[in-house]
Amino acid sequence: MLRSVVSQSLSGFPEWLPEQRIVEQQAIDRLRASFELHGFAGIETRAVEPLGQLLRKGEIDKEVYLLHRLHGAEEPRTDRTLGLHFDLTVPFARYVVENAGHLEFPFRRYQIQKVWRGERPQEGRYREFTQADIDIVGLAELPVHYDLEILAVMAQALGRLELPPLRMLINNRKLVQGFYEGLEISDIPAVLRAVDKLEKIGPDAVGQLLQAEGLSPGQIQACRDLAAISGSDDSVLDRVSALGVSSAQLDQGLTELAAVLAGVSQIQQPGLTIAASLNIARGLDYYTGTVYETQMQGYESLGSVCSGGRYDALARKGKMTYPGVGLSFGLSRTYGPLLSRGLVTGSRKSPSCVVIAVVSEERRAASNEVAAQLRERGIACEVAPAADKPGKQIRFAERRGIPYVWFPAELTDSGQAAVRDIRSGDQVPAQADRWQPPAADLHPQPVWTEPQPAT
Amino acid sequence: MLRSVVSQSLSGFPEWLPEQRIVEQQAIDRLRASFELHGFAGIETRAVEPLGQLLRKGEIDKEVYLLHRLHGAEEPRTDRTLGLHFDLTVPFARYVVENAGHLEFPFRRYQIQKVWRGERPQEGRYREFTQADIDIVGLAELPVHYDLEILAVMAQALGRLELPPLRMLINNRKLVQGFYEGLEISDIPAVLRAVDKLEKIGPDAVGQLLQAEGLSPGQIQACRDLAAISGSDDSVLDRVSALGVSSAQLDQGLTELAAVLAGVSQIQQPGLTIAASLNIARGLDYYTGTVYETQMQGYESLGSVCSGGRYDALARKGKMTYPGVGLSFGLSRTYGPLLSRGLVTGSRKSPSCVVIAVVSEERRAASNEVAAQLRERGIACEVAPAADKPGKQIRFAERRGIPYVWFPAELTDSGQAAVRDIRSGDQVPAQADRWQPPAADLHPQPVWTEPQPAT
């Protein structure tokens, strides 16, 4: 079952075999269905943005792919030079501002598209990859209950994907920043960066970094104590308060975290847990309130597979701000390693559930007619390529993993049309206007080669 | 109802409002469903190919977008420089050769993806656009019955799109080339190019071009006579034979065209006609047998919206050839003008069918629970953003075109939960575990602002 990534010829640009694409496509379909059930409108934005737009948030470290035309004149690079988008947030923010007059706020949208980054590829990190984003964006204001809702929507969507166990983690930028303010720390971004290294370099090394930043032993201890707090109920808030630090910003952060945590217990998804984890620092630079990360059990080295947070202003135009909250699921980051390690693949190579055997080229139209009747009732099928011996027509189906072969009356002993389950060899008389395969056989399904968590 | 294309800021990169995207998305879904019912496997290829691959078929006139990295060193352009694909055929051919060992032939695949061309934009011609391709590719051989099948599959798929009337036209490269051979014409490509201008410049001007090519009056008349032949039955073949020209190649072409025409009468799609039209010359350079074009009534200036044909070798590796036959539907070319002229848009701005009103922020969880029960049964809905007065919550739905508002018991006179059709004002008591909207309201639908042909 183990299959390697199809094309190694362009590192970082994975492509999948038809049976693997079935897995990815089903994931996209399920995400989309979940998002739409929650009223998220699907949009697509163009693949390109002017460079000035792409670097607007100071993302100059991103390795962007710029475009130039084969026959175009060489032009100096400017803000108007086109580059491929590296995420779906920047283009969405631009789309919201450009179309504000045509949109209704709060505007909820999902967007499942490819993005590109010219960075060094590694497992789960590609140069071309698919993201599935949901955001809710308001006009001037956006109530905090959306911080809970966006989490609930994504949790429900991810819960339908049959992935290894997921752990969604929450923190709040105001809480952490307010805590540091309460500690009278001056260079807060530097401390955030140091604390972010906790998992990587351990508490002692982080302590040394903080010492180098001029923090007192008491401040360092408080930073470590805060980062150690995690859990999924109100006790998290109590443990923060028990640290004896206070500031208006901290209070605001605690209130927001409380509002999200209060609803978390209602989000019941098999194979998915949600908890506050106050050591999450990554992304705090960009976000202004709630932040989210997600780890996939057994794949922690991939980093977060679903991240996001609250922006005070996803976009801004003149005096008008568009606050937003969103989550971005790394579809390629998650499925790439699972597919390329061969842990999941499709149950067959084709959408076809049935191959209609052909008696002779003269009788092909009769087999076409059987196929048309099955399709009429939603049964995917195809007609055999040639009027070969029955055994050869069966092997045609077998090689594709197609479970059934339909034999016209001329090819059966009984003289009645019949359908054979080629896995068991069972053959039963059948009529094209009523035969129905078991639901499990109707469409190809992902097949996991290792036991997955009960879902 | 008339809406302009959203973003004029980047000419040639159209983007759609949520209600417009609904139309495009439904078209994609219907195409996909049709293709899968016929056993076509979905694949995606990466957006980029090495320049050497892109120009392999001598397509040097194509205006390709090349990529370079923002922080990468300036490198001289080579065959390995990456460019964005300009169609889905070149990448598919490469994919087939690379993965031949993992694929089963004849291999039938569909591919619905964006492609890019750096050309001057005009109506229906964009720099970024979506194509929907189907191809069947064989190993060393591919029977001619697939020339008919690919046409039947695309006809059925297009027939489900509710487009203005479509006219699919067929010709055969062997027939035309063989006819010219039979006339002892020496420079056949030059004659093909001249005849291709028939519609544009008229028969007299074409006659002059052919005269300049050194053709005799008799040869010129025969070329014109052939180009004038069209129809959907066997009489087409008789009329070619009646011209008294003969060659082995012509016979082969007539046999192939006969095989396709014989099945055309069985392809019954409302709003779609299929006919042989022997003046189709465009693309004959690339194809080796059957060729297809499609015109949309009232939009002839867009050119062909669905084209394709038979290749003797879609791809080749060493001594192995992969003959194929395929059709490519220009989704953006077709829908772009319809959407930007405002002839079709979605029935609402949101997938939501219902807005659940909120009694108070404290009771939001109760409204969430109603929403969860509706979603459980496939009814898309969203909960109101704030516990505003009922009138304001109704307007929230109204502005989005969402047809129903759900009122919890606290908000109704009867003290029972109720659902209101805000178009009619009708309000009925309702229970979240059984209320069902009419099927027509369940999902947003395309709404045409001009009468469409009966479908």
Q: What is the DSSP string of B174-209?
A: HHHHHHHHHTT-S-HHHHHHHHTTHHHHHHHHHHHH
The residue-averaged pLDDT of A404-415 equals 96
Does residue B337 have a cis peptide bond before it, meaning omega lies within 30 degrees of 0? Answer: no
pLDDT tens-digit profile of B394-441? 999 999 999 999 999 999 999 999 999 999 999 999 999 999 999 999
A-chain residues within 8 Å CB-CB of B43? 15-18, 21
What is the reported pLDDT for A33? 98
Does the pLDDT at position B4 exceed 70?
Answer: no
What is the reported pLDDT for B286? 79
Q: pLDDT category, B200, cuts 50, 70, 90?
A: confident
Q: pLDDT category, A451, cuts 50, 70, 90?
A: low
Residues 21-40 (A) with a CB less than 8 A from some CB of B: 21-22, 25, 36-40
Quote the tokens at residue A225. 């104590």
Q: 10 Å Cβ neighbour count for A116? A: 26
The residue-averaged pLDDT of A242-250 equals 97
The residue-averaged pLDDT of A164-177 equals 96
The residue-averaged pLDDT of A121-135 equals 95
In the β-sheet with B65-69, what is the strand arrangement from edge to edge? A48-50, A82-84, A65-69, B65-69, B82-84, B48-50
The residue-averaged pLDDT of A47-62 equals 80
Quick check: B68 and A71 CB within 8 A?
A: no
Tokens 């799109």 — which residue? B161
Minimum distance, in Å, between the CA of residue B209 and any CA atom of chain A: 30
Quick check: B16 and A70 CB within 8 A?
A: no
Does the pLDDT at position A286 exceed 90?
Answer: no
Which three-class secondary structure state does DSSP give residue B69?
strand
Asked if B315 and B96 count as a contact pair (C-beta separation under 8 A), the reply is yes
- What average pLDDT is seen over chain A? 93
Does the pLDDT at position A149 exceed 90?
Answer: yes
Residues 388-407 (A) with a CB less than 8 A from some CB of B: 399-400
User: Does the predicted interface ipTM exceed a cut of 0.90?
Assistant: yes
pLDDT tens-digit profile of B134-174? 999 999 999 999 999 999 999 999 999 999 999 999 999 99
Does the pLDDT at position A4 exceed 50?
Answer: no
The residue-averaged pLDDT of A221-238 equals 94
Predicted TM-score of the model (pTM) = 0.95
What is the reported pLDDT for B5? 34
Percent of chain A with pLDDT over 90: 82
Q: pLDDT category, B315, cuts 50, 70, 90?
A: confident
The residue-averaged pLDDT of B324-341 equals 97
Q: Which segment of A17-21, A119-123, A414-418 scores lowest on mean pLDDT?
A: A119-123
What is the reported pLDDT for A452? 53
What is the reported pLDDT for B60? 60
Q: pLDDT category, B59, cuts 50, 70, 90?
A: low
The helix-helix angle for B145-159 and B248-264 (nearest 10°) equals: 40
A-chain residues within 8 Å CB-CB of B3? 102
Minimum distance, in Å, between the CA of residue A378 and any CA atom of chain B: 7
Tell me the CA end-to-end span of chain A in Å, nearest whole number: 23
Percent of chain B with pLDDT over 90: 82
The residue-averaged pLDDT of A343-361 equals 97
Asked if A308 and A288 count as a contact pair (C-beta separation under 8 A), the reply is no
Quick check: B109 and A18 CB within 8 A?
A: yes
Minimum distance, in Å, between the CA of residue B16 and any CA atom of chain A: 7
Most confident of A184-193, A273-282, A337-346: A337-346
Q: Which segment of A24-28, B54-58, B301-305 scores lowest on mean pLDDT?
A: B54-58
Q: pLDDT category, A200, cuts 50, 70, 90?
A: confident
Q: Is A359 on the interface with B (CB under 8 A)?
A: no
Write out the H or E segment, with its range, that includes residue A56: none
Does the pLDDT at position A48 exceed 90?
Answer: yes
**Which residues make Cβ contacts (< 8 Å) with residue A275, sequence separation at least 6?**
A167, A168, A169, A170, A230, A231, A232, A264
Residue B407: Cβ-neighbour burial (10 angstroms; 0-12, 13-18, 19+): buried
CA angle A171/A177/A183 to nearest 5° reads 125
Percent of chain B with pLDDT over 70: 96
